[in-house]
Amino acid sequence: MSDHVPGAHGASINPALEDVRFCPRCGREAEVRFPRSISCGHCGYGAYYNPKPVACTIPRTASGDVVLLRRGFAPGKGLWTFPGGFVDLGESTEQAALRETDEELQLAVELGRLVGVYSRPDDRVVLVVYEALALGEPRTTPEAPEVRAFHPDDVPYEELAFWSTEAALRDLLGS
Ligand SMILES: [Zn+2]
């Protein structure tokens, strides 16, 4: 699944567990059920691995244009998408969506409705996408070297970074 979101990768659905054999707590051999879990029969340690939530916004201007950024980094470098990133422990998806939008576009937004949730069995992430109202002017950053507001009729569907980018934009715009 090379066509996915921040931090993605190449082949493995779970590189964190791929080559693990020993318990991280007691150091003895553990049972690894790739790609889902590790459990240790010696000390009782257990951990489960699940898809990671990624929180995103689709910022819109007062006139309804959609703010997209050209990705500065792989995967999808050079292609268009909306801001988003991994939800950290200790924050909600809404907080993560606001934080990521500020980090990538230096843009404050007001969250609107949930556009949709996007996942596939072979992806490591689950996208949670909110519509948002831009409260200022977005800026470029290393993560977003180009930023543009597109009229809904002019969204560059042929140059989007991920399948989920296209799905969410079509769900939002009914196009
Ligand atoms: Zn152990």
Under a CB-based contact definition with an 8 Å cutoff, are residues 97 and 55 in contact?
A: yes
Q: Does domain 52-173 have CATH number 3.90.79.10?
A: yes
Quote the tokens at residue 45: 């340690």
Q: Where in the chain is the domain with CATH 3.90.79.10?
A: 52-173
Identify the three-state secondary structure at position 28.
coil
Q: pLDDT tens across 31-64, in order? A: 999 999 999 999 999 999 999 999 999 999 999 9
Percent of the chain with pLDDT over 70: 94
39 Cα–ligand 1 center, Å: 8
Q: What is the pTM of this model?
A: 0.88
54 Cα–ligand 1 center, Å: 31
How do strand 52-60 and strand 125-134 relate by DSSP bridges?
A: parallel
Catalytic residues: 146
Quote the tokens at residue 172: 């939002």
